[in-house]
Amino acid sequence: MPRALLLENIDPVAVELLTSAGFDVESQKGALDEADLIAALDGIDLLGIRSKTQVTADVLAHRPQLTAVGAFCIGVNQIDLPAAAAAGVAVFNAPYSNTRSVVELAIAEIISLARRLTDRDRALHAGVWDKSATGSHEIRGRTLGIVGYGNIGSQLSVLAESLGMRVLYYDLDEKLALGNAEVCRSLEELLERAETVTLHVDGRAGNAGLFGAEQFARMRPRSLFLNLSRGFLVDHEALRDHILSGHIAGAAVDVFPEEPKKQGDEFTSVLRGLPNVILTPHVGGSTQEAQYDIGRFVAGKLADYTRAGTTTLSVSLPAVALHGSSAARFALLHRNVPGVLARVDALVGEHGLNVDGQVLATRGELGYVVTDVNGELPPALLAALAGLPETVRLLTFPPPA
């Protein structure tokens, strides 16, 4: 029986789906460091992680039997994607499932910061009755600047506008404005015009250090700042300095450059204890609804890959989905050079089979072809396919029920 290992407290629905797909599933609550992960992957076919476990090239090199990794979250910067592709490991994530949860948290934090609810809460818990409107504002009529107008940023745009905010956005790629949102042609333009700035960019290496002292200084005096995106985007020392100086009136941070590995570990940050600063432990997508949807979505992608070779929405392999059924199916991940498909089909014919259905897709240096044939797959054919000099990984699938 193939085996799956799920780390970081992935929703039980993933266990149910993978078990029903024929996997022996082990589930653990915490993340693992590199050495422990290599040891834990002995005999494991599928790995499920969230944001803290790092799947490095060394991990992949030590465990060549691993066929797929599911990132039960949005980001995949914790996985060495080029190494995964080169090893023929399919990687899937959940780019949409927790969008609403992140957006709702951003809206809640914008309102809380504008009303200085954190300060009011702390004062009252300390026994101080401070009933005052000083420093408390409505968000209606104020200008929100969204850096990164993808799935989360664009949905936040719609909700913020429905609450009466003016919306600006900046993105490296051309994006269609939703509602009355207005595009800014540079980050500097957005910072100079917005009263609240929120980051929603991806985890590409080029975004590291995106926001530092220069960007905070360019923001409007007494503006608000949020980062629910990636921890390595922001210089927290610079943010602290601008909060203490009063230039930034409040901030909400959900992600950090270094985060504890497991529940109960100590959290350290220069942002602790600052006035009107909301710190949350990377819970932007951590609602029960989102975690259920993520578990169902990613586990479904892993099951589809292992049952039929489907790679739709994979972030490491070419996207292929071959519909229909036949007597047998195989998938060949190969180096993307001319003539491979012709050799595959010639081998099929040499072994007395016809191709009933076939789909080929390429991505960069890789090609991926899924082929249905009209009879059982002879061991000699499989050996010949595996022995092609271009072959990276050969997969076979049971006949349809």
Residue 236 appears among annotated catalytic residues: no
Give the Cα separation of 28 and 37 in Å (integer): 12
Residue 372, C-beta contacts closer than 8 angstroms, at least 6 positions apart: 322, 324, 325, 326, 327, 328, 329, 355, 356, 357, 358
The count of other CB atoms within 10 Å of the CB of residue 207 is 19
In this structure, are residues 272 and 118 in contact, taking their beta carbons and an 8 Å threshold?
A: no
Query: Quick one: tokens of 305?
Result: 């890959």
* DSSP 8-state secondary structure symbol assigned to residue 207: G
Asked if 257 and 210 count as a contact pair (C-beta separation under 8 A), the reply is no
**Strand (E) or helix (H) holding 25:** strand 24-27
CA–CA distance from 69 to each of 59, 93, 94, 189, 303 (Å)?
12, 9, 12, 40, 11
User: Catalytic pick from 50, 282, 329, 334?
Assistant: 282
Q: Which of 230, 236, 329, 334 is catalytic?
A: 230
Q: Respond yes or no: is residue 200 known to be catalytic.
A: no
Provide the residue type at 332 as one letter.
Answer: L
Q: Is 222 assigned a catalytic role?
A: no
**H or E element, residue 152:** helix 151-162
> Read out DSSP for 71-107?
ESSS--TTB-HHHHHHTT-EEE--SSTTHHHHHHHHH
Candidate list 34, 104, 189, 259, residue with the active-site label = 259
Quickly count: other Cβ atoms within 10 Å of residue 109's Cβ.
25
Active site residues: 230, 259, 282
